[in-house]
Amino acid sequence: MLVNKIDLLPYLKFDVDRCIEYARQVNPGIRVFRVSAQTGEGMDAWHAWLRSQLTSRQVVGATP
């Protein structure tokens, strides 16, 4: 799950932890990335995950 615009959280009434808790009720194994394109926060971790998914799919021969 990608939670974007985290740089705006100080200005909004939004409970990220509650949002993630609800998502985990639906999918306990969900991977969560908190990112901000504005500040770059969290982008390295998200990009690394994307690369790892591409690599693992190439290894098993799956097509995108």
Element spanning 8, H or E: none
**What is the value of pTM for the model shown?**
0.76
Domain boundaries, given as residue ranges, for the chain: 2-60
User: How confident is the model over 3-61, as pLDDT tens digits?
Assistant: 999 999 999 999 999 999 999 999 999 999 999 999 999 999 999 999 888 876 665 55
**Distance from the first to the final alpha carbon of the chain:** 19
Q: What is the largest CA-CA distance in the chain?
A: 45
Pairing verdict, β 2-3 and 33-34? parallel
